[in-house]
Structure 1
Amino acid sequence: MTRKRIALALIASLALAAFALGSFLYQRSQAAAQQELARSNEGVFARAHSPTYGDPAAKVRLTEFFDPACETCRAFYPAVKKLVDDSQGRVQLVVRFVPFHYGADLAAKILVAAHDQQLFVPVVEVVLATQDSWASHANPRPQLLWGYLAQSGLDIAKAKAAVDTAQVKAVIAQDMADARSLNVTRTPGFFVNGKPLERFGYEQLLELVQREVELAYGQ
């Protein structure tokens, strides 16, 4: 290899190393920024209007920013529900609505109305089970949800009247505002006792929850 080629190879290696270091530092700075946002916005993790699942006396609060049209939210739902079920009353889930996907707004409003009827869990399970039909990214048809929910126990007439009210719209607006304050741009977005999930994945979420359980309850 000539000196010129050696020099070019060295330059390329240094450039790659600099890029890798820059990416690492950027990710660390983003994580630190989100942690600081979480610390300075502690009140945004649970609002009085938010649906919850699990023991209200739990010392560990898992907040999920949730889009009903999000495929990853659907995939995580049974695992997150099981995590709470298996926690022996030590973890509570709080759900915040962020309908980022086109067509998800009506579904989010329906879920707010379902929560008002104390039917959040059965209704969200129908919404997610039928997601492929009503939330197609190419042709979302959220109005189909009314037919799917006929057997869910939801008072359809009452829910239809509710979705266009200022009260329901205010819930979605508040959740979206809280998401922006925490720099949540994708779903699902998880925080455990105010600490953001820095590396996305179920195992990483489980580890973060377990750490908070141990801090709150001991080994």
Structure 2
Amino acid sequence: MQNKNLVFISIFVVLIIFAGAVYFYKGSTTSNVGNIGDTLLKEYSYKKGDNKKNIVVVEFMDPECESCALFHPIMKKLYKEYSDDILIVTKYLANHKNSKMAIEILEASREQNLYDEVLDVIFEKLPIWAKHNNEKPELLWEFLKEVSGLDIEKLKVDIKNPKIAEIIKQDRLDATSLNVRGTPTIFVNGIELENLSQKDLFDLVEKGIYK
């Protein structure tokens, strides 16, 4: 009988330890998800979409990145088809020589509600103003004249806002904490997109929408 009691006590102790471990693991997992959410979703970031399905798509982007320019039409298509259901968030990772200037222009364009229009021009003209070993970022000012309603002189003033440098710095810190080194890097509700393809992106988004 004594041996049986010892067995029961041992099993009981093991169960308590297991339950505690499960509780601790769940608590740790929730905390990590929360931290990732705080890292990916900042109040200052450019956002668009009604997000009725609570699907947050975060893109780490560099406006001087050829891959970002190539992926840009896919991001536009995603927004066009699912703007009611999702929220698209843009974060920066300035990895090129003139990335900072392009980001300053983009952020300043928000003051005139022309962010998307300016980004379209920056990517469309990328092969000209950001040509390897022959970069001519000053050409952006000429190209931006194509954006209807854009006040270029106001833009040149607004790019000097010190908050833009803070955004660039914080986004890089966030990228580092998430081990993001290249662009574009995309997260859907905290899950990193493994393959940069339209199908994989849409599949991951639709999985959240139609779950």
Relative to the length of structure 2, the TM-score reads 0.78
Q: Work out which of the residue numbers 158, 162, 176 in structure 1 matches 2:158.
A: 162
State the match for 1:191 in structure 2.
187
Matched, 1:122 2:117: yes
State the match for 1:176 in structure 2.
172
Q: Work out which of the residue numbers 51, 55, 79 in structure 1 matches 2:74.
A: 79
* Structure 1 unaligned residues grouped into runs of 5+: 1-35
Report the 3-state secondary structure (helix = DSSP H, G, I; strand = E; otherwise coil) of the residue aligned with 2:56: strand
Contact in 1 for aligned 2:44/2:167 (Cα 8 Å): yes
**Quick one: distance in 1 between partners of 2:85 and 2:106?**
25
Contact in 2 for aligned 1:51/1:95 (Cα 8 Å): yes
Q: Work out which of the residue numbers 203, 206, 213 in structure 1 matches 2:209.
A: 213
Shift of 1:45: 1.7
Shift of 1:154: 2.2
Q: Which of the two has higher C-alpha Rg? A: 2
Shift of 1:59: 1.1
Count of aligned pairs between the two proteins: 180
Q: Cα–Cα, structure 1 residues 165 and 173, in superposed 2: closer, same or farther, change >3 Å?
A: same
User: What is the one-letter code of the residue matched to 2:47?
Assistant: T
Q: Work out which of the residue numbers 47, 54, 62 in structure 2 matches 1:52.
A: 47
Contact in 2 for aligned 1:104/1:142 (Cα 8 Å): no
Q: Which moved further from structure 2: 49-58 or 161-170?
A: 49-58
Shift of 1:206: 1.6
Identical aligned pairs, as a percentage?
33
State the match for 1:108 in structure 2.
103
User: What is the one-letter code of the residue matched to 2:96?
Assistant: H
Contact in 1 for aligned 2:51/2:85 (Cα 8 Å): no
**Quick one: distance in 1 between partners of 2:159 and 2:32?**
31
Contact in 2 for aligned 1:54/1:85 (Cα 8 Å): no
Q: Cα–Cα, structure 1 residues 46 and 138, in superposed 2: closer, same or farther, change >3 Å?
A: same
* Structure 2 unaligned residues grouped into runs of 5+: 1-30
Q: Cα–Cα, structure 1 residues 163 and 208, in superposed 2: closer, same or farther, change >3 Å?
A: same
Q: Work out which of the residue numbers 131, 136, 155 in structure 2 matches 1:136.
A: 131
RMSD over equivalenced CA pairs, Å: 1.9
Contact in 2 for aligned 1:63/1:190 (Cα 8 Å): yes
User: What is the one-letter code of the residue matched to 1:214?
Assistant: Y
Q: Work out which of the residue numbers 61, 76, 81 in structure 1 matches 2:56.
A: 61
Contact in 2 for aligned 1:52/1:92 (Cα 8 Å): yes
Report the 3-state secondary structure (helix = DSSP H, G, I; strand = E; otherwise coil) of the residue aligned with 2:201: helix
